[in-house]
Amino acid sequence: AERAMAKMWWNALELKLFPEAPTTPDSLPIPLDNIVYAEAQNQYVDIYDQQATKHLLPETLGSLVQRLETQTPFGKTPPLVRIHDKYAVNPAQVLEVRLSESRRDYLVRLSNGKELNMSRTYKHHLAKLPVKVQRSRGRGG
């Protein structure tokens, strides 16, 4: 009986110290398919849909991306791919990736018309995006 009491006490304490984060995609304000990109805002994430409507989620971008990755079946592309410390994009919504004017970074163009920078830190995630990188040569600039 003492052991059972200790376990109950520990479980209650654990729940207070580490409140359960929602583990299902249902905890998202919109369906995964409708997400175009997510933008970090300190301890929150702004999730944008096709209509550029902003949905606020009380979670960090890193934990959101990680949570969705752990729920993704092996061999499948996760629903959000990190491209910058501030941004993660839905690979299905990426239309084009091209070198920026400076030729040092990449620009990711999304289905809702938004263009986001991809930092060199996340360049290795290019393989997760379903588009070829446009390397426009000979243009002025």
Is 15 a residue whose pLDDT tops 80?
A: no
Rounded CA separation 9/5 (Å)? 6
Q: What is the pTM of this model?
A: 0.73
Q: What confidence tens digit (pLDDT) does each residue in 63-107 have?
A: 999 988 888 878 787 889 999 999 999 999 999 998 878 777 889
Question: Quick one: 93 exposed, middle or buried, by C-beta within 10 A (0-12, 13-18, 19+)?
Answer: buried
Among residues 114, 111, 112, 105, the alpha carbon closest in space to that of 133 is found at 105
Q: Kindly give the residue spans of alpha helices, DSSP state H, lying in the chain.
A: 2-17, 61-71
Q: With bands split at pLDDT 50, 70 and 90, how would you rate the model's confidence at 135?
A: low
Residue 17's Cα: distance from chain center in Å?
26
